[in-house]
């Protein structure tokens, strides 16, 4: 049995993990190993192609995690996709680059995460970004930006695809949304996201290939002698040494690969970056979690944190489509991000007050469904913040993605801030066994209604000229399935029969004070440990209005600086 030793051992060479690996290995006197279950996808055309979204789904580089039966959503299971490759989920995702609403990041701090706010994160969005200024040609097709919002020197290339959709679409969308009170937003990446926009993607515009975490943060740096990727290798659990000052001390990670089991030793830290559907399971397998769960599988309790794996939050995605009256070429990057008042008009106040009076019930229901792992009072505090964001700060309420391609104009959409909460927990002490993943989609009637309301609104958008003139019949759902004046229950049935995961799971190892249900502190260190961190989508305490990678890159950049500060003095 071979053994190896590094200063830092990072589990998961994905979106967040490779940022940390890159930045820590800038310290030439430390060694960094990354344990990654997948392999290189540098030359995988399902990955590199900028028009290949979806092509890698169901292939060997897709974990395709299966959920438990979704009892509030019609009963069936869902597939939650995630990348299994050097580069992680950034190698299979939709490449949209949108950040978050500024007040949303500020609310992390108001909930007790000192130092984490929009102002402190913004420089790290810039640091990670290699913005490619659009060409005159791209600008004439709708690419737009404020240079103050963008960093041009970071590793992650951000820009527009080489071939953008016909220039007639955006003005038509703009005029229609103007009639509906939704403004045009030239650049959603400065912290104010509401409006219609043509956002950039994580793409190398020049080479016209996807820019994923590996292309940005690993391959150009692969020759660093102190940085090693151990690929095709599955991490099983953390190995512990003797406690120090009452805190658990990690000394390495047990892994499994073609050579069998071995331990990769860590003399400084173990950092979990395996994604929000894996990092909490790794914590449980290592003895950090809810004793009720660990005891079931005879795993000795190292640190009692009952909220590990709780707070799972995803969004739900449905699609509509219309017959196109034009023929569209090129890659569309158009999204509308209406706020709740824009979407609901006069019913806004009634909905705001109905939701407000339900918050305590939501908190109670979720606390009960977690068997007491979550406290209702902690959930309520988060829900109040969420309510404030939606109904007072009026952050974007839904994202509507417009996809005019060839002869079809389709749309995908998802409400951004659902109230449902689920969990992910191990079902066995065997690390190769899948975990129980339960997002509890549509746990609350309100989330289901919202999903239907946004579909209804999209119909209204497509009925508004001049957009209405660009399309013919509605193909999906189609008036024969959901008639013009369909009841709520007809819409709801359509939603449940056709929805999918939006693939944005977060929250399963939340950054929050320990007494408020947190798993990691503001250094992203796991409570009760000396040297274990989680740095990936698990630590986002709740959902964001942007797509996730931009914020994960920024967060991993900032976390890397926090770690480096500890080791460079």
- Nearest CB to ligand FDA, comparing residues 80 and 385: 80
Smallest separation (angstroms) from ligand FDA to the CB of 269: 16
Task: Return the residues of window 28-47 that contact ligand FDA according to CB under 6 A.
Answer: 35-38
- Nearest CB to ligand FDA, comparing residues 344 and 418: 418
- Nearest CB to ligand FDA, comparing residues 467 and 535: 535
Burial degree of 280 (CB within 10 A; 0-12, 13-18, 19+): buried
Give the residue, chosen from 10, 11, 343, 426, that forms a contact with ligand FDA under the rule CB under 6 A. 11
Residue (of 556, 564, 562, 561) closest to 125 by Cα position: 556
- Nearest CB to ligand FDA, comparing residues 93 and 451: 93
Q: Does 94 bind ligand FDA (CB under 6 A)?
A: yes
Give the residue, chosen from 154, 275, 404, 477, that forms a contact with ligand FDA under the rule CB under 6 A. 275
Pick the stretch among 14-22, 126-134, 188-196, 520-528 that binds ligand FDA (CB under 6 A): 14-22
Give the residue, chosen from 40, 78, 96, 423, that forms a contact with ligand FDA under the rule CB under 6 A. 96
Q: At what angle do helices 348-369 and 445-462 cross, to 10 degrees?
A: 140
Q: Does 274 bind ligand FDA (CB under 6 A)?
A: yes
Q: Does 273 bind ligand FDA (CB under 6 A)?
A: yes
DSSP classification of residue 127: H
Smallest separation (angstroms) from ligand FDA to the CB of 559: 11
Q: Does 412 bind ligand FDA (CB under 6 A)?
A: no
DSSP string, 389-451: IIIIS--B-EEEEEEEEEEEEEEEEEES-----BEEE-SSS-TTSPPEEE--TT-SHHHHHHH
Smallest separation (angstroms) from ligand FDA to the CB of 414: 11
Smallest separation (angstroms) from ligand FDA to the CB of 469: 29
Q: CA-to-CA distance for 126 and 152, rounded, in angstroms? A: 8
Q: CA-to-CA distance for 498 and 442, rounded, in angstroms? A: 13
Rg (CA), the chain: 23
- Name residue 85's beta-bridge partners: 39
CB-CB contact of 439 with 501 (8 Å): yes
- Name residue 96's beta-bridge partners: 201
Q: Does 100 bind ligand FDA (CB under 6 A)?
A: no
Pick the stretch among 78-86, 123-131, 184-192, 408-416 that binds ligand FDA (CB under 6 A): 78-86
Q: Helix-strand-coil percent breakdown of the chain, rounded to 5?
A: 35, 25, 40
Q: Does 161 bind ligand FDA (CB under 6 A)?
A: no
Whether the upstream peptide bond of residue 396 has omega within 30° of 0, thus cis, is no
> Which distant-in-sequence residues (6+ apart) come within 8 Å of 43 by Cβ?
none
Q: Does 314 bind ligand FDA (CB under 6 A)?
A: no
Q: Does 293 bind ligand FDA (CB under 6 A)?
A: no
- Nearest CB to ligand FDA, comparing residues 276 and 365: 276
- Nearest CB to ligand FDA, comparing residues 90 and 370: 90
Q: Does 524 bind ligand FDA (CB under 6 A)?
A: no
Smallest separation (angstroms) from ligand FDA to the CB of 490: 29
Q: How many other C-beta atoms can be found within 10 angstroms of the C-beta atom of residue 77?
A: 12
Can you tell me whether residue 257 is helix, strand or coil? strand
- Nearest CB to ligand FDA, comparing residues 30 and 213: 213
Pick the stretch among 94-102, 132-140, 147-155, 263-271 that binds ligand FDA (CB under 6 A): 94-102
Q: Does 528 bind ligand FDA (CB under 6 A)?
A: no
Phi and psi (nearest 5°) for 307?
Answer: -90, 0
Q: Does 411 bind ligand FDA (CB under 6 A)?
A: no
Residue 504 known to be catalytic:
yes
Q: CA-to-CA distance for 395 and 240, rounded, in angstroms? A: 43
Q: Does 211 bind ligand FDA (CB under 6 A)?
A: no
Q: Does 439 bind ligand FDA (CB under 6 A)?
A: no
> Which distant-in-sequence residues (6+ apart) come within 8 Å of 315 by Cβ?
414, 415, 416, 418, 502, 504, 543
- Total residues in contact with ligand FDA, by rule CB under 6 A: 40
- Name residue 266's beta-bridge partners: 6
For the window 233-252, what string marks contact with ligand FDA as x by the rule CB under 6 A?
A: -xx-----------------
Tell me the two tokens of residue 108. Answer: 């992390």
Q: Whose CB is nearest to ligand FDA?
A: 14
Q: How many other C-beta atoms can be found within 10 angstroms of the C-beta atom of residue 392?
A: 10
Give the residue, chosen from 31, 89, 189, 423, that forms a contact with ligand FDA under the rule CB under 6 A. 89
Q: Does 92 bind ligand FDA (CB under 6 A)?
A: yes
- Nearest CB to ligand FDA, comparing residues 150 and 234: 234
Q: How far is CA 155 from the centre of its chain?
A: 20
- Nearest CB to ligand FDA, comparing residues 35 and 400: 35
- Nearest CB to ligand FDA, comparing residues 443 and 545: 545
Phi and psi (nearest 5°) for 466?
Answer: -85, -5
Residue 211 known to be catalytic:
no
- Name residue 489's beta-bridge partners: none
Smallest separation (angstroms) from ligand FDA to the CB of 292: 23
Q: Does 95 bind ligand FDA (CB under 6 A)?
A: yes
Whether the upstream peptide bond of residue 187 has omega within 30° of 0, thus cis, is no
Give the residue, chosen from 44, 70, 90, 185, that forms a contact with ligand FDA under the rule CB under 6 A. 90
Which listed residue (199, 234, 425, 504) is catalytic? 504
The bridge status of strand 423-425 relative to strand 209-210 is unpaired
- Name residue 210's beta-bridge partners: 203
Tell me the two tokens of residue 169. Answer: 């679409």
- Where along the sequence are the contacts to ligand FDA (CB under 6 A)? 11-17, 35-38, 81-85, 88-90, 92-96, 234-235, 273-276, 278, 503-504, 536-537, 547-550, 552
- What are the residue numbers of the active site? 504, 547
């Amino acid at each position: 049995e071979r053994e190896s030793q590094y200063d830092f051992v990072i589990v998961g060479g994905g979106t967040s993990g490779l940022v940390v690996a890159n930045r820590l290995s800038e310290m030439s006197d430390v060694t960094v190993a990354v344990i990654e279950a997948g392999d290189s996808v540098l030359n995988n055309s399902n990955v590199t192609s900028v028009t290949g979204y979806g092509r890698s789904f169901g292939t060997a580089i897709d974990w395709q995690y299966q959920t438990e039966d979704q009892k509030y959503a019609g009963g069936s299971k869902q597939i939650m996709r995630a990348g299994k490759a050097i580069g992680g989920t950034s190698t299979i995702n939709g490449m949209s680059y949108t950040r978050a609403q500024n007040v949303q990041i500020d609310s992390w701090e108001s909930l007790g995460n000192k130092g984490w706010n929009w102002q402190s994160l913004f420089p790290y969005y810039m640091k990670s970004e290699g913005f490619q200024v659009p060409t005159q040609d791209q600008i004439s097709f709708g690419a737009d930006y404020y240079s103050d919002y963008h960093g041009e020197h970071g590793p992650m290339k951000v820009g527009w695809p080489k071939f953008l959709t016909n220039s007639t679409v955006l003005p038509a969308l703009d005029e229609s949304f103007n009639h509906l009170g939704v403004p045009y937003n030239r650049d959603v990446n400065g912290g104010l996201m509401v409006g219609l926009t043509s956002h950039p993607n994580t793409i190398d515009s020049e080479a016209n290939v996807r820019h994923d975490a590996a292309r940005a943060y690993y391959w150009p740096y692969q020759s660093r002698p102190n940085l090693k990727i151990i690929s095709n290798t599955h991490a099983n659990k953390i190995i512990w040494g003797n406690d120090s000052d009452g805190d658990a001390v990690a000394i390495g990670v047990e892994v499994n690969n073609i050579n069998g089991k071995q331990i990769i030793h860590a003399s400084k830290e173990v950092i979990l970056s395996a994604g929000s559907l894996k990092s909490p399971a790794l914590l449980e397998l290592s003895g950090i979690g809810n004793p009720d769960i660990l005891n079931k599988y005879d795993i000795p309790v190292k640190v009692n944190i009952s909220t590990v794996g709780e707070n799972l939050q995803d969004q739900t995605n449905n699609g509509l489509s219309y017959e196109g009256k034009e023929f569209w070429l090129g890659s569309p990057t158009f999204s509308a991000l209406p706020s709740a008042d824009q979407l609901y008009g006069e019913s806004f106040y009634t909905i705001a007050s109905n939701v407000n009076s339900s918050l305590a019930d939501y908190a109670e229901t979720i606390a009960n469904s977690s068997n007491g792992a979550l406290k209702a009072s902690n959930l309520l505090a988060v829900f109040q913040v969420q309510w404030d964001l939606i109904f007072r700060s009026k952050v974007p309420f839904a994202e509507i993605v417009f996809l005019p391609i060839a002869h079809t104009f389709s749309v995908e959409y998802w409400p951004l801030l659902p109230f449902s909460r689920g969990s992910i927990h191990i079902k066995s002490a065997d690390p190769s066994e899948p975990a129980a993943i339960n997002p509890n989609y549509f746990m609350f009637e309100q989330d289901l209604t919202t999903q239907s309301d946004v579909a209804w609104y999209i119909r209204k958008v497509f009925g508004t000229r001049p957009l209405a003139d660009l399309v013919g019949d509605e193909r999906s759902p189609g008036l024969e399935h959901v008639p013009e004046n369909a009841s709520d229950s007809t819409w709801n049935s359509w939603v449940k029969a056709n929805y999918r995961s939006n693939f944005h799971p977060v929250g399963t190892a939340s950054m929050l004070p320990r007494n408020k249900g947190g798993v990691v502190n503001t250094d992203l260190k796991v409570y009760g440990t000396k040297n274990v961190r989680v740095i990936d989508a698990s630590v986002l305490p709740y959902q964001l209005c942007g797509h996730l990678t931009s914020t994960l890159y920024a967060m991993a950049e900032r976390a890397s600086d926090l770690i480096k500060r500890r080791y460079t003095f």
